[in-house]
């Protein structure tokens, strides 16, 4: 799922080389942490969060199929 989030993020941003996704496995939940260049943050979040929501819907459906929860965390670099 890490690769999938990476693929989506890279297709959305201007700086694909600055896309990093890490996957943290919990008991029932997988957390996917997405980091992008500061100026690309808006591209992965979208107006009113629509793009982030779309990615979460995609992960949600994958989770239904795989019987696992996938949480997307978009990390803002400090």
Partner 1 sequence: MEKEEKNNDIDQEFKGRNLEDAISLAELTLKLPRTQFNYEVVAEKTKLFGIGTKEIVIRTWPKKPAGDYPAVRFLEQFLSLYPLEIRYQIKEKNDMLYFIFDGMDKYLLLRKDGSLLLALQHLLNKMSTKKVQTDCDFFRKRKEREIKERTQEIAHKVQETGENEILDFMNPYERRIVHIAANQVSGITSESIGDGFLKQVKIFPSKE
| Beta bridge partners of residue 29, listed in sequence order | 69
Q: Which candidate, 71, 74, 75, places its Cα nearest to that of 28?
A: 71
Footprint of partner 1 on residues 1-20 (CB under 8 A)? 3-4, 7-8, 11-12
Residues 27-46 that bind partner 1 (CB under 8 A): 43, 46
Told to check if 54 binds partner 1 by CB under 8 A, we report yes
- Rounded Cα distance between 70 and 29, Å, is 6
Q: Please name which of 46, 42, 35 lies closest in space to residue 77, comparing C-alpha atoms.
A: 35
Among 25, 27, 28, 47, binds partner 1 (CB under 8 A): 47
Q: Which residues make up the interface to partner 1 (CB under 8 A)? A: 3-4, 7-8, 11-12, 43, 46-48, 50-51, 53-55, 57-58, 60-62, 64-66
């Amino acid at each position: 799922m890490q690769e999938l989030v990476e693929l989506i993020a890279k297709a959305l941003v201007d700086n694909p080389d600055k896309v990093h996704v890490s996957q943290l496995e919990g008991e029932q939940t997988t957390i996917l942490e997405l980091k992008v260049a500061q100026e690309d943050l808006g591209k992965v979040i979208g107006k009113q969060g629509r793009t982030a929501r779309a990615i979460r819907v995609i992960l949600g459906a994958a989770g239904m199929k795989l019987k696992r929860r996938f949480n997307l965390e978009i990390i803002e670099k400090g």
